[in-house]
Amino acid sequence: MYDDTRHDEFHRKVYKDGSTRCDDVFSAIVKKGDKLVFGVAQKETSYRPVYPNQVSLSVPIFATVNQNPRYTTAIGTKKIGSVEVPLAGSGIDRLVVVRMIFCGTEITVECEEKATGKITRLNVDFLM
């Protein structure tokens, strides 16, 4: 949700239902210096659809050289991929859990729709 005490007005978006949200918020799953276990899913982050009739949830994946970026539009922040997660049912209370699994130069982004248990994966290779 948009909070005018925390978010820049530039990133404020008003949706069809009248709700306001903040676009382009950088949500860190892993930060520089975090201790990672090779091949094991790291900290989870949850997302929900914006619209009740949404049939999929796009989860963009970003990398940055910044220590604490606020927005995905910040200088030094780059989109490295995106995962399209199919959603079952309807409503905005549906939950998608995102995990990152680090394996050398590759990251597997794992997105699980909690209602169905269906997992969608994206492999990101940093030796491109």
Residue numbers of the domain that contains 77: 26-125
Is 78 contained in some domain?
Answer: yes
The string over 105-124, giving b where at least 16 C-beta atoms fall within 10 Å of a residue's C-beta and e elsewhere, is eebebbbbbeeeeeebebeb
pLDDT at 2: 62
Higher pLDDT, 15 or 92: 92
Q: How many domains does the chain have?
A: 1
Is 8 contained in some domain?
Answer: no
CB 108 within 8 A of CB 101: yes
CATH number for the domain that contains residue 78: 2.60.34.10
DSSP 118: -
Q: How far apart are the first and last CA of the chain?
A: 35
Query: 107 - beta bridge partners?
Result: 102, 124
Is 20 contained in some domain?
Answer: no
**Cα separation, 72 vs 60, whole angstroms:** 10
Residues 78-126 have pLDDT tens digits of 998 888 888 888 988 899 998 989 887 788 889 899 989 999 888 876 6
Q: Taking the CA atoms of the chain, what radius of gyration do you get in angstroms?
A: 15
Is 19 contained in some domain?
Answer: no
pLDDT at 119: 92
Is 2 contained in some domain?
Answer: no
Is 92 contained in some domain?
Answer: yes
